[in-house]
């Protein structure tokens, strides 16, 4: 497995995401709310992280990035 491929599965913490994107904490959360930044993944308690692959996808074209729509069962629409 190559290094680039293995890095795609890493989980990044907020400070790492801030460093890679150049965005502030408030901008990251504001863009998440607008659907223009990858969603955070709950890690337990108040801890969250982001998939490195999602951040890399965002960085390819930040102006046009749109977060994928959540699956129906993730938003509480499933029976």
Task: Summarize pLDDT for 5-51 with one digit per residue, the tens.
Answer: 667 689 999 999 999 999 999 999 999 999 999 999 999 999 999 99
Q: For the whole model, what pTM was predicted?
A: 0.78
Task: Summarize pLDDT for 48-67 with one digit per residue, the tens.
Answer: 999 999 999 999 999 999 99
Query: Positive or negative CA dihedral for 14, 28, 48, 66?
Result: negative
Helix (H, G, I), strand (E, B) or coil at 52: helix
The domain 3-64 is placed in CATH, from the list 1.10.287, 1.10.10, 1.10.3720, 1.10.238, at: 1.10.238
Helix (H) or strand (E) holding 36: none
Q: How many CB atoms lie within 10 A of CB 13?
A: 12
Q: Are 42 and 14 in contact (CB under 8 A)?
A: no
Strand partners, 50: 12
What six digits make up the tokens of 75? 């938003």
């Amino acid at each position: 497995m190559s290094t680039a491929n293995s890095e795609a599965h890493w989980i990044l913490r907020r400070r790492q995401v801030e460093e890679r994107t150049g965005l502030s904490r408030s901008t990251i959360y504001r863009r998440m709310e607008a659907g223009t930044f990858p969603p955070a993944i709950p890690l337990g308690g108040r801890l969250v992280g982001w998939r490195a692959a999602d951040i890399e996808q965002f960085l390819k074209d930040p102006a046009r990035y749109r977060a994928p729509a959540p699956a129906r069962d993730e938003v509480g629409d499933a029976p």
